[in-house]
Structure 1
Amino acid sequence: MRQSLVMGNWKMNGSRAESLALAQSIVAGLESGDQGVAVCVPFVYLSDVRSVIESTPLALGAQNVADQEKGAYTGEVSAAMLKDCGCTYALVGHSERRSYYGDSDQSVAARFCQAQKQGIIPVLCVGETLEEREQDKTFAVIDKQLDAVIDMAGIDALANSVIAYEPVWAIGTGKTASDDQAQEVHKYIRQRIAEKSQEIADKIQILYGGSVKPDNAKALFAMPDIDGGLIGGASLDADSFLSIYRSI
């Protein structure tokens, strides 16, 4: 049986004090036996938050990782640096990175590989825009995004990764894919991976991201191929985030 995972993405929000307080509130709501819960924190607060969550069930993640190992890449943060800060996870290919900063399928694949070289679990974000969905291109977009990683890293690399399906039209808009819409794409992703490795397809965690809230989480997480969520806005409130986590 697959382990569920609920991961908060704080994006570019919060001060140092607010980040510490949020982490402390989440930790206070967890029990010693809890597992499968993480937060992706702004780079500058990773070490601060690490000091709060060490020896707790809450794992630490970064919101991006450089596509190069080291060198003259001003403003980038390498996987080795993230590892040094205690990161277990790193998001790669979030739709906001693809849309606003031009991350290509190839650079996302390179980021995926850099994370794995340092033992960080990459969380590969895939998903279609509203225009692509309306043109029935959802599966073609997913194929292209997945294939870029598989072509560069190999199918076996997916065994130590997480996939997050994020319909771009549902991120930060208040719109959410219906339970059946989300399940349809999650099932497709798992079947697509199964074409190359049934073993990996059976084990890989596929999360749903796109305006997940306490009132819709339980129904989404009940779908057979949805293994948890990548939570945006609701992760900035400890009670909401914990409520979503308890919906698994």
Structure 2
Amino acid sequence: MTKPNTLLALNWKMNKTPTEAAAWATELKGQLPSSAATLAIMAPAIDLPALQTALAGSPVQYGAQDISANPSGAYTGEISAAMLLDVNAKYAVVGHSERREYHAETSQVVASKARAAMSTGLVPIICVGEGLEVRERGEHVAYTLDQLRESLAGITVASAEQIVIAYEPVWAIGTGKTATAADAEELCAAIRGALSGLLGEVGADVQVLYGGSVKGGNIAEICGQPNVNGALVGGAALEVGSVLEMVNALK
């Protein structure tokens, strides 16, 4: 198996105004070294037009933190795939742990959003992962793989090359517990095995990311694991300096 390319998906969450996003992107663009990793900014939807302008001519990609399962219509507050494509977005995060927790999104909803993204050519970054209670019961692998299968419902083998999976150890977010590179590899390897079972040879080429307190000091070890193909980065994505630190660590 040839290891897929490394992807750093920089999730800004609910941070940065369009003005701040443009300034950030311009600063990054002026300092970004050549890198084997692909950079993609997951920004608030209101920031995407600013990124389209600021990143013109840059290899840095961008996408949304969520997407509607519906193509258009009376769905106040939602953002459609067509709207994202109109500003040249490439990715859409679906099923982030915060969406699952704060907005009660089920894996069935996640699957419908992933299919909506794929139907227009967007690449969904499908997030899965277990909470602390599940981890402490030792059921983390089975739970995460069940979540994965449900979140991939309706996605065919023919279209599966157009997906990214991100494993988030929800149990290590705000609990004082720390996930190790070995923890990342354990679940990413299990996800890889499940993808191969569901999708055959295509499963070997799907990018599987790890998301959980990734920063310059640990990214090389984490992304050096056989089944980790990059990272979904949160806090360390907000400052250009920390992003450059991660990029240089991977070189």
* Structure-2 residue corresponding to 1:157: 159
Alignment of 1:136-155 (within 5 A): 136-155=138-157
Query: Taking structure 1 as the reference length, what is the TM-score of the superposition?
Result: 0.94
Deviation at 1:142, TM superposition (A): 1.6
Find the aligned partners of 1:196 and 1:12 in 2 and give their Cα distance.
Answer: 34
C-alpha displacement at 1:35, in angstroms?
A: 5.1
Bigger mean CA offset, 86-95 vs 130-139? 130-139
Aligned equivalents of 2:208, 2:219: Cα separation in 1: 15
Shift of 1:60: 0.9
Residue 89, structure 1, aligned to residue 91, structure 2: yes
Deviation, structure 1 residue 34: 5.7
Return the alpha-carbon distance in structure 2 between the equivalents of residues 69 and 89 of structure 1.
16
Contact 2:37–2:247 (CA<8 Å) still a contact in 1?
A: no
Measured in 1, the distance between the counterparts of 2:147 and 2:9 equals 21
Aligned counterpart, 2:169: 167
Task: Give per-residue Cα distances to partners, 1:43-78, cap 9 Å, x unaligned.
Answer: 111101110112201001100000111111000000
Q: Which moved more, 1:76-85 or 1:198-207?
A: 198-207
Query: SS at the partner of 2:166?
Result: strand
Structure 2 residue 188 is matched with structure 1 residue 195: no
2:111 is equivalent to residue 112 of structure 1: no
Match of 1:47 in 2: 49
Deviation, structure 1 residue 209 = 0.4
The answer (yes or no) to whether the contact 2:97–2:128 under 8 Å persists in 1 is yes
CA contact (8 A) 2:160 2:199 kept: no
Is 1:26 matched up with 2:57? Answer: no
Q: Return the letter of the residue paired with 1:80.
A: A
Separation in 2 of the partners of 1:190 and 1:49? Answer: 32
1:109-138: CA deviations, max 9, x gaps? 000000001100000001001111111221
2:245 is matched with 243
RMSD value, Cα:
1.6
Distance 1:82 1:118 in 2: 10
**How far is 1:182 from its partner?**
0.8
Give the partner amino acid of 1:103: E
Q: What is the alpha-carbon distance in structure 2 between the residues aligned to residue 32 and residue 246 of structure 1? A: 9
Structure 1 unaligned segments of length 5 or more: list them: none
When structure 1 is superposed on structure 2, of 91-100 and 10-19 the one drifting more is 10-19
* Corresponding pairs, count: 248
Kept in 2, the 8 Å contact 1:35–1:58? The answer is no
How far, CA to CA, are the matches of 1:172 and 1:45 in structure 2? 27
In 2, are the aligned partners of 1:171 and 1:209 still within 8 Å (CA)?
no
Structure 2 regions of 5+ residues with no counterpart?
none
Paired position in structure 2 for 1:64: 66
Identity of aligned residues (%): 39
Q: Bigger CA drift: 199-208 or 103-112?
A: 199-208
Q: Structure 2 length normalisation: TM-score?
A: 0.93
